[in-house]
Amino acid sequence: MNWKNKEKRRLIQAILVLGSEDVAERFLRDLMTEKEIEEFSKRFKAAEMLAEKVSYFNIEKETGLSSTTIARVAKWLNGKEGGYRTIINKLHQHNSIQSRRGLS
C-alpha cells in the first residue's frame, strides 16, 4: 500500500495525536460505522489470540470470524510489516508496567 498521499498521511497524523482512550473512542466512532469498529476489534482480538498460539477453531468460536479472515490476520501478524506484532508487544509492555505499578 502506498502511504505517501496526503489523505493517508493526514490520517496517520490524526491517529498519532489521539492521546487518550476517550478521544480515540470519539474519533473512531466518527470515522467508522459501528460494524466496522466491531469487525476491526474482532480482527485485533484474533491477532492477539494467534500471537498466543490459540487455534483457528477457538478463535472462530470466540470472535465469529471466518477461517479465511483469521488466515489473513495470521498472514499480516507474521508478515514483514509487523504492525500487529508491534502493537501487541507495546500493549503487553504497557500492561506489564501498569501491573507492576498496581494500576490494572
Q: What pLDDT is recorded for position 101?
A: 67
Taking CA atoms, 37 is separated from 26, 32, 48, 84, 100, in Å, by 12, 6, 17, 16, 31
Q: What pLDDT is recorded for position 34?
A: 97
Q: How many CB atoms lie within 10 A of CB 72?
A: 14
Q: What pLDDT is recorded for position 93?
A: 85
Q: What is the pLDDT of residues 3-43, one digit of tens each?
A: 889 999 999 999 999 999 999 999 999 999 999 999 999 99
pLDDT confidence of 94, banded at 50, 70, 90?
A: confident
What is this structure's pTM?
0.84
Taking CA atoms, 38 is separated from 1, 3, 58, 101, in Å, by 23, 24, 18, 31
Mean pLDDT value across residues 69-77: 97
The structural domains of the chain, with segments of one domain joined by +, span: 1-31, 35-101
